Amino acid sequence: MAAVGASGGAAGGGGGAGSASSSSSSAAAAPPSQPPPSQPAGASGAEASTAAAATTTTTTSATAGSTGGGGGGSSAASSASSSSAASGAGGSSASGASESWYVALLGLAEHFRTSSPPKVRLCVHCLQAVLPRKPPARVEARTHLQLGSVLYHHTRNGEQARGHLEKAWLISQQIPQFEDVKFEAASLLSELYCQENSVDAAKPLLRKAIQISQQTPYWHCRLLFQLAQLHTLEKDLVSACDLLGVGAEYARVVGSEYTRALFLLSKGMLLLMERKLQEVHPLLTLCGQIVENWQGNPIQKESLRVFFLVLQVTHYLDAGQVKSVKPCLKQLQQCIQTISTLHDDEILPSNPADLFHWLPKEHMCVLVYLVTVMHSMQAGYLEKAQKYTDKALMQLEKLKMLDCSPILSSFQVILLEHIIMCRLVTGHKATALQEISQVCQLCQQSPRLFSNHAAQLHTLLGLYCISVNCMDNAEAQFTTALRLTTHQELWAFIVTNLASVYIREGNRHQELYSLLERINPDHNFPVRPLV
């Protein structure tokens, strides 16, 4: 299960947890969300992302599914940005009267956007009314960004959103000292390209934005996070790790040890997913030193510690060292209790590169429940696993009423996959089938989630079929799952269960021997593919 995200996303600082899944090393990721420039840290609209947490399981792999994003663009105009846009955008050529009509239209647009429910059409009309008046270039670029953001976040009119964002990006590149609009447009536009499956258009856009943002630490880090997340979603973990390494070095140069830790922890998660365990240990050692030595916002410090401990627990579980996990897991549970008692500090960090956070406190709480469930399953504490799953699912239902973050659905699917295994082991077959159906419904709501969990879903159906003695159906489910997975541990788990089907049927000796030839513990992956 892997979900990548930090600061707004997964492997990167641009919007939400990305995902790359591995049946035994999974990343439960959330984004360190980054606030838009006009908002306090922690109040981001669409976040920047870094890789989040890694977790392990032998049967599931997850993906955060959150996409890299643009923070502040989601609002048509905040009251702060309205006035600053009016004065800063109009320039010296704008008269007081022209500023008045601009501020009035922005105020109306924001009023309609923040109505309950939002009056999106009227908000768009107000913003569109700015453009025919041939405003100065700064006003024009900002208005295109606001229109593109509103259309992207609140409608399904992707074509119009794309057109406005492309204009905002094009115009803002010609305007000096207009970084917020320029890079917000690039971030949102690349996110929209990814949503439209135009990844080849998103990559060069992000690369160019990264190249010209080196004098703007916040945006440079956020865009690096976002591109790393994009590579992670494409399963190009090598490129993602390289970008996160670049980000860590840049953060060190600009004096941001906090964001350096986010980059390094994100890289550590991806290395765990790649099973480069020799590289993980020194990296985690360095991260531990940075986290302990960094003095800053208490919530940010504790969130770094949670991220670090989640990776440590994952590392141990991945190696099968269940007993070694206990001290780290206890520290993790103490950390989440500490965080729950801290109040959010709305004071902005003095270093712009520190304008990120990993996960909201509520998401971290669910993640700790999830890691505890994984440990309980591996240790054989099935009652404890059920108890913590029930608590986590209850918390998730409450969160999803107010928060539509894709990572919450990822957490929910991972928890259900574990509890389904638990139900089948304890003989609660009907309940297991109901929960399998629930996983199907969740995956149908997100193509990316379905893609990342299809093999696990077929595996669970195969296990259910074995439990009710439907061996032909079990074989069909396992065979389908094998075609869909590329992960070593899940492949071995499926093949082992398929072998048990052949043994139970009694007359499948040839298929059984052929299958056993392909299972070699000394290899990292099957010697040759199954037919």
What pLDDT sits at residue 236? Answer: 93
Identify the DSSP state of 26: E
Helix 471-484 to helix 447-467 angle, to the nearest 10 degrees? 150
Is the model's pTM score more than 0.75? yes
Q: Is the pLDDT of residue 248 over 80?
A: yes
What 3 state SS string does 147-213 have?
Answer: HHHHHHHHCCCHHHHHHHHHHHHHHHCCCCCCHHHHHHHHHHHHHHHHHCCCHHHHHHHHHHHHHCC
Q: Is the pLDDT of residue 44 over 60?
A: no
Residue type, 66: S
pLDDT tens across 448-483, in order?
899 899 999 999 999 999 999 999 999 999 999 999
Which residue, among 96, 41, 34, has the nearest Cα to 68 in the 3D structure? 34
Q: Supply the mean pLDDT for the chain.
A: 80
Whether the Cβ atoms of residue 20 and residue 232 lie closer than 8 Å to each other = yes
What pLDDT sits at residue 87? Answer: 38
What pLDDT sits at residue 390? Answer: 93
Contacts of 363 (CB under 8 A, 6+ apart): 30, 399, 405, 407, 408, 411
What is the Cα–Cα distance from 88 to 79, expressed in whole angstroms? 14
Question: What is the DSSP track for 278-315?
Answer: HHHHHHHHHHHHHHHH--S-HHHHHHHHHHHHHHHHHH
What pLDDT sits at residue 60? Answer: 29
Cβ of 254: how many Cβ atoms within 10 Å? Answer: 17
Q: Residue 422: which pLDDT band, with cuts at 50, 70 and 90? A: very high
Whether the Cβ atoms of residue 29 and residue 91 lie closer than 8 Å to each other = no
pLDDT tens across 10-25, in order?
333 333 333 333 333 3
Return the half-sphere exposure (C-beta side, CA atoms, 13 A cut-off) of residue 91. Answer: 11
Torsion over CA: 51, 57, 62, 64 (sign): negative
Torsion over CA: 2, 7, 9, 11 (sign): negative
Return the half-sphere exposure (C-beta side, CA atoms, 13 A cut-off) of residue 302. Answer: 21
Average pLDDT over residues 134-151: 95
What is the Cα–Cα distance from 130 to 128, expressed in whole angstroms? 5
State the virtual CA torsion across 520, 521, 527, 530 in degrees, nearest 10: 70
